[in-house]
Amino acid sequence: MPRTLITGGAGFLGSHLCEYFLNKGHEVICMDNLITGSKDNISHIKNEKFQFVEHNVCEFIDLEGELDYIMHFASPASPIDYLELPIQTLKVGSLGTHNALGLAKAKKSTILLASTSEVYGDPLIHPQPEEYWGNVNPIGPRGVYDEAKRFSEAITMAYHRTHGINTKIVRIFNTYGPRMRVNDGRAIPNFLKQALTGKDLTVYGDGSQTRSFCFVSDLVEGLYRLLMSEQNYPVNIGNPNEMTVKEMADKILQATNSKSKIVQVPLPEDDPKIRQPDITRAKKYLNWEPVVSLDEGLQSTLEYFKKQLKT
């Protein structure tokens, strides 16, 4: 039976990965320091092949026994989190990734690094293919996340080239679904929370900036296929269905039947103006593309938010 470590396993994506790998018959070790993750995300998992270890991966990772796979997902990932936790974000991307790679080397594990569309910054090429090197402000407020992930990619490729580690890099585009925190701060959770509690929906700027939102089950399927593939170079995983943030706010008002209004508040610094994944590589090498429609995905996320907010 394969044995898999999921760092950040108590987070939004991590918890879905824990379930997915258990369903595939893996033994799963979920590691998290619970800064942004929560035990609530994994408390429903009743499986003797599952264990939780509370640990900060910026410290040496001491694990007994063999390890086949590492899914390295530990990091704050919402802009409000990494603005509040800039140093932790830089440390987990650098020291944490170094430790995860060191563990992969010691255990001869295959490791998949969770990177991000933020490596493209405020992109000058649209949609973004993996060959694009990006347009990142290293000293801006988002630089702590963007540069941490760019460093993570660099050290991952260095371990691959120097030590022959079987490494994978996924660049994850905007993803949503159940278990995003109600106070996560990203667009979909914010809009859902606001719509369900009768508050105004806060569109940053004029709402003409675009994003492309992928439902979590599609993302997780792509991650698994990448882990099992021969691809050592980065692969974008995301849904190319691009829309403006204003369109998303309208969509959420519709889905929730809410009477809330949309208000404009100032656009945060360095907020990317456009974003859409070019998924040619994922289609070609992983035979993957998203299958969940926005309506289906939003409905399932909405049900989760209703439960959380008890509305």
d(CA 56, CA 8): 9
**Contact predicate 13/72, CB 8 Å:** no
Give residue number: closest CB to ligand UDP: 186
The residue (of 269 and 295) whose beta carbon lies closer to ligand UDP is 269
Q: Which of residues 168-187 bind ligand UDP (CB under 6 A)?
A: 174, 186-187
Q: How far is the CB of 88 from ligand UDP (least distance, A)?
A: 17
The residue (of 107 and 181) whose beta carbon lies closer to ligand UDP is 181
Q: Which of residues 2-41 bind ligand UDP (CB under 6 A)?
A: none
Active site residues: 145
Task: Quote the Cα angle for 141-143-146, to 5°.
Answer: 135
Q: Is 16 exposed, middle or buried (0-12, 13-18, 19+ CB in 10 A)?
A: buried
Q: How far is the CB of 23 from ligand UDP (least distance, A)?
A: 28
Q: How far is the CB of 11 from ligand UDP (least distance, A)?
A: 15
> Phi/psi at 186 (nearest 5 deg)?
-80, 170
Q: How far is the CB of 249 from ligand UDP (least distance, A)?
A: 7
- Rounded alpha-carbon distances, angstroms, from residue 250 to 296, 299, 303: 16, 14, 18
The residue (of 196 and 245) whose beta carbon lies closer to ligand UDP is 245
Q: Show Cβ contacts of residue 136 under 8 Å, excluding neighbours closer than 6 positions.
A: 118, 119, 120, 121, 122, 142, 143, 146, 147, 150
The residue (of 55 and 142) whose beta carbon lies closer to ligand UDP is 142
**Is position 260 an interface residue for ligand UDP (rule: CB under 6 A)?**
no
Q: Which of residues 189-248 bind ligand UDP (CB under 6 A)?
A: 190, 202-204, 209, 211, 245
Residues at the site binding ligand UDP, with contacts judged by CB under 6 A: 79, 174, 186-187, 190, 202-204, 209, 211, 245, 268, 271
